Amino acid sequence: MLPTTDRFKKGAKETLADPVIQMSMEAVYTGFHTNRQSAAAATEGWDEQRDRGRAIKEHTIANLDYYLEMLTDKIDENGGNVFFANDSAEATEYILNVARARDVKTVIKSKSMVSEEMSLAHEMEAVGIEAVETDLGEYIIQLAGETPYHIIAPAIHKSQDQVAEMFSEMTGTDPGQTPEELTTTARGMLRETFQRADMSVTGVNFAVAESGSIVLVTNEGNGRMCTSIPRVHVAVMGMEKIVPSMQDLGMMLRILIRSATGQRISSYVTMINGPRREEEEDGPEEFHLVIVDNGRMKLLADPKLREALYCLRCGACLNACPVYRKVGGHSYGWVYPGPIGAVVSPVMSGLKQGKDLPFASSLCGACREVCPVKIDIPNMLLHLRQQVVEGPPEDRSVGRIERLGWKAWRFGNMKSSRFWAGGKLANLLGRPFARKGMFRRLPPPLSGWTRSRDLPITASSPFRDRFKKRRPNSSGGEE
């Protein structure tokens, strides 16, 4: 997917003006977020479980090469093929080659964010292979020609009416269909595709190194259809999606699913151990695992950002984020939106282009509070901000005026007499323009504030003067 991370402000403005989306985004809080809160409250030792989950990820990422090798060996043993892709282009090429070599006509996809990095469905269509998304949300946005709006709920921004209208145009069904009827319609359309598909592409929620198992967490059953009907199964994963053992997997599933939807367990948890064996009736003849870097090494190499690789893609930080709920998913301009997206999207797709994303946060910390592995997202945003301002030349992008402004701020704060004088001066200069001690309109950059809020003038008698007056002889420190 081509990043449009430089369009954040424009995208945010458009989304704020869209009442349908604003309404839909409410469900992110009242549904997902609230359900997560209840699930967390109902789970004994929840916080300790998050600590353990984090410790597992910490250990795995610190020994990533070791576990990737173990995983590769196991999958090999199980009769599957593993391919390491440095970037999206390499991954795409490998998958297209597999499809072409087997004369594949139709590919069914289950949900995979990594495949969104590659725009895989588009790439397939471009070479004449039919590629159909089978997760209902993904299916809806594929029909709409859009990209996912949310990590686990890709079509969260679409209203029921919009979906009904879209289905109606395609199949001639009643545009007033209920959600149940719409699901049945989609099911009907998809069923036929499932039956004739000769290859599937799925994501990977976890890969278990000790057994070479690929784990899919779904609620619709489409993942299971994808991994049992077609003759070829290609699973695609980011290189961080690995856990050492089955025991670790148990812990990760607990915290992932509760954080994502508030369920204790999802309707389906599917484990794949390679292609069909001789004694088995179902399953693909061939199994491929494509492990993708695509910028993840950049995160791994930076000790301040490494913990972004602990992410389980549960979406809890999106649901908790008051900024995401206002600006929506597309404003972030790349595959991953919301707080975790504000960290990984600019790093993976280019910090200069995505320089707004780390700043597009009030640093409220709601994301860290809900993260199943306690990723300190605010802290990473702070480090990225510093990189944009003080980092290597290829990352830097800050205007001269802002630089000058902070130099002046520094000067004014290095001595209390200057600080005091600055306040007095602002009071004197501002007084003719203030009404009842407040400004209604100020020039840029403060116009950003006064567009919707009054700003008080600095006090004519600041606290330090008042303090002196109340006790003329008291002091502490000197100057």
Partner 1 sequence: MTEQPVKTPRPERVQLFVTCLVDQFRPEVGESVVNVLERLGIQVDFPEGQTCCGQPAFNSGFWNEASDVARHFLDVFDATEGPIVVPSGSCGAMVRNFYGEMFEDDPAEMERVRRVSERIYEFTEFLVDVLGQDDLVTNLGPHLDETATYHQCCHLERELGVDHQPQQLLKQIEGLEMLPMNRPEVCCGFGGTFAVKFSDVSTAMLNEKLDNAAATGASMIVAGDTGCIMHMAGGLRRRGSDQQVRHIAEILDEATSLDKNNTGEQT
Kindly state the number of chain residues that form the binding site for partner 1, as judged by CB under 8 A. 71
Query: One-letter amino acid identity for 77?
Result: E
By the rule CB under 8 A, 455 interacts with partner 1 = yes
Question: By C-beta, is 64 or 364 nearer to partner 1?
Answer: 364
Distance CA 34, CA 449 (A): 32
Between CA 342 and CA 328 the distance in angstroms is 12
Name residues contacting partner 1, limited to 198-257 (CB under 8 A). Answer: none
Binds partner 1 (CB under 8 A): choice among 9, 100, 277, 431? 9
Pick the stretch among 67-75, 225-233, 239-247, 462-470 that binds partner 1 (CB under 8 A): 462-470
Q: What is the phi/psi pair of residue 365, to 5°?
A: 85, 5
Q: Which 56-115 positions form the footprint of partner 1 (CB under 8 A)? A: none
- Binding residue (CB under 8 A) for partner 1 from 80, 244, 338, 423: 423
| 3-class secondary-structure state, position 272 | strand
Range in contact with partner 1 (rule: CB under 8 A) among 6-14, 159-167, 267-275, 290-298:
6-14
Cβ proximity to partner 1, 97 vs 413, nearer residue? 413
Based on the shown chain and the rule CB under 8 A, indicate whether residue 136 belongs to the binding site for partner 1. Answer: no
CA distance 433 to 435: 7
Torsions phi, psi for 36 (to 5 deg): -60, -45
Rounded to 5 degrees, φ, ψ at 332 are -70, -20
- Quote the least distance from Cβ 200 to partner 1, whole Å: 39
Instruction: Return contacts of 173-177, CB within 8 angstroms, 24+ apart.
Output: none
Tell me which stretch binds partner 1 (CB under 8 A): 80-88, 200-208, 233-241, 464-472: 464-472
The only residue of 271, 364, 374, 430 in contact with partner 1, by rule CB under 8 A: 364
Strand duo 130-133 + 268-272: pairing: unpaired
Out of 178, 413, 428, 431, the residue judged to bind partner 1 by CB under 8 A? 413
Q: What is the distance between the alpha carbons of residues 278 and 255, in angstroms, rounded to a whole number?
A: 36
- Any idea what DSSP says for residue 322? H
Strand partners, 42: none
> Is 127 or 425 the residue whose CB approaches partner 1 more closely?
425
Ranges within 376-405 binding partner 1 (CB under 8 A): 379, 382-383, 385-390, 398, 402-403
Is 473 a residue that touches partner 1 (CB under 8 A)? no
Nearer to partner 1, 13 or 105 (CB): 13
Maximum C-alpha span of the chain: 93
How many angstroms separate the CA atoms of 223 and 225, rounded? 5
**Which 298-327 residues touch partner 1, going by CB under 8 A?**
322-323, 326-327
Which residue number, 2 or 17, has a Cβ lying nearer to partner 1?
A: 17
End-to-end CA distance of the chain: 58
Q: Which of 175, 179, 359, 421 binds partner 1 (CB under 8 A)?
A: 359
CA–CA separation, 478 and 473 (whole Å): 12
